[in-house]
Structure 1
Amino acid sequence: MTEGENRPARVAANAIAGGHFRYYDFVMAAFVAIILLSNVLGAGKFAQVWLPVWNVYWPFGAGILFFPISYVIGDVLTEVYGYARARRVIWVGTVAVLFMAFMSWVVVKLPPAADWKNQPAYEAIFGQVPRIVFASVCAFWAGEFVNSYVLARMKLWTGGKMLWTRTIGSTIFGEGVDSLIFYPLAFLPIPFLGWEGWPVSLVIQVLFTQWALKVAWEVILTPVTYVVVGFLKRREGVDVFDTDTDFTPFATRV
Structure 2
Amino acid sequence: MKQTSLRPVAYATIGSGNYAVLVALMAVVVVLSNIGGSKGVIFGPVITDGGFFLFPLAYICGDIITEIYGAKAARRAIFTGFAASVLAVVTYAIIIVLPGFDDDYGIAKQQALEVALGPVWQIVLASVLGFLAGQNLNTLVMSIMKKRHLERGLFARMISSTGLGEFVDTLVFCTVAATAIGITTVGQWANYTFFGFLYKTLLQYALMPVTAWVIGRIKRYEPTYQAALDPR
TM-score, normalisation: structure 2 = 0.83
Of residues 18, 21, 29 in structure 2, which corresponds to 1:26? 21
Of residues 39, 55, 60 in structure 1, which corresponds to 2:34? 39
- 1:234 pairs with 2:220: yes
Long gaps (5+) in structure 2: 1-6
Q: How does 1:134-149 map to 2 (within 5 A)?
A: 134-149=125-140
Aligned AA (2:207): L
Of residues 102, 121, 124 in structure 2, which corresponds to 1:114? 102
CA offsets per residue over residues 7-31 of structure 1, 9 Å max, x none? xxx7546x866x6323111111111
- 1:165 pairs with 2:187: no
Long gaps (5+) in structure 1: 1-9, 50-55, 189-195, 242-254
Question: 2:4: which partner in 1?
Answer: none
Q: Measure, in 1, the Cα distance between the counterparts of 2:39 and 2:226.
A: 40
Of residues 175, 193, 197 in structure 2, which corresponds to 1:211? 197
Q: How does 1:48-59 map to 2 (within 5 A)?
A: 48-49=42-43, 56=44, 58-59=46-47
Q: Measure, in 2, the Cα distance between the counterparts of 1:59 and 1:185.
A: 15
Count residues with an aligned counterpart.
216
C-alpha contact (below 8 Å) 1:98/1:137 kept by paired residues? no
Of residues 176, 186, 191 in structure 1, which corresponds to 2:177? 186
Q: Please identify, of 169-178 and 108-117, the stretch whose mean Cα deviation from structure 2 is larger.
A: 108-117
Q: Measure, in 1, the Cα distance between the counterparts of 2:218 and 2:26.
A: 15
CA 1:240–1:223: 2 relative to 1, 3 Å: farther
Aligned AA (1:45): K
CA offsets per residue over residues 198-254 of structure 1, 9 Å max, x none? 22232122112101111011111111101110111011131699xxxxxxxxxxxxx
Aligned AA (2:27): V
CA 1:165–1:239: 2 relative to 1, 3 Å: farther
Q: Measure, in 2, the Cα distance between the counterparts of 1:100 and 1:83.
A: 26
C-alpha contact (below 8 Å) 1:167/1:218 kept by paired residues? no
Tell me how far 1:129 sits from its aligned partner.
Answer: 5.4
Q: Measure, in 2, the Cα distance between the counterparts of 1:145 and 1:73.
A: 13
Q: Per residue, is there more helix in 1 or in 2?
A: 2
Q: How does 1:215-226 map to 2 (within 5 A)?
A: 215-226=201-212
Q: What is the RMSD computed on CA atoms of the aligned residues?
A: 2.5
Question: 1:248: which partner in 2?
Answer: none
Moved over 6 A (4+): none
C-alpha contact (below 8 Å) 2:47/2:195 kept by paired residues? no
CA 1:239–1:127: 2 relative to 1, 3 Å: farther
Aligned AA (1:212): L
Q: Please identify, of 116-125 and 25-34, the stretch whose mean Cα deviation from structure 2 is larger.
A: 116-125
SS at match of 1:65: coil
Question: 1:88: which partner in 2?
Answer: 76
Tell me how far 1:170 sits from its aligned partner.
Answer: 0.8
- RCO (CA 8 Å, sep 6+): is it higher in 1 or 2? 1
Aligned AA (1:43): G
SS at match of 2:17: coil
Q: Per residue, is there more strand in 1 or in 2?
A: 1
TM-score, normalisation: structure 1 = 0.76
Question: 2:49: which partner in 1?
Answer: 61
Q: Please identify, of 217-226 and 112-121, the stretch whose mean Cα deviation from structure 2 is larger.
A: 112-121
C-alpha contact (below 8 Å) 2:170/2:196 kept by paired residues? yes
Question: 2:186: which partner in 1?
Answer: 200
SS at match of 1:118: helix
C-alpha contact (below 8 Å) 1:81/1:240 kept by paired residues? no
CA offsets per residue over residues 32-74 of structure 1, 9 Å max, x none? 111111112x21333344xxxxxx4534222110101100000
Aligned AA (2:189): V
